[in-house]
Amino acid sequence: MKRREFLAHLESHGCKLLREGGSHSWWTHVATGKRSAVPRHNEVNNHLARKICRDLGVPQPMRF
């Protein structure tokens, strides 16, 4: 999945960018306070996207 599409999915479910790290961006789910790291690659592996969504407590993207 393209990183841009994945970040748009996270934002649409109430997640915000917390900070930029060395090679990852840290995202947080505002309602629950859960955090997860999103790598800065053009493509995010489907399994990794599912894990990040599970960590943040948002539904998985329907389109892979």
Q: Give alpha helix (H) positions in 1-64.
A: 3-12, 46-56
pLDDT of res. 64: 60
Domain chopping of the chain, boundaries? 3-56
pTM of full prediction above 0.85: yes
Mean pLDDT, range 35-41, rounded to an integer: 96
pLDDT band at 12 (very low <50, low <70, confident <90, very high): very high
How do residues 17-34 score in pLDDT, each as one tens digit? 999 999 999 999 999 999
pLDDT of res. 62: 85
Q: What burial letters (b/e) apply to 11-20, b meaning 16+ CB within 10 Å?
A: eeeebeeeee
The CATH code that applies to domain 3-56 is 3.30.920
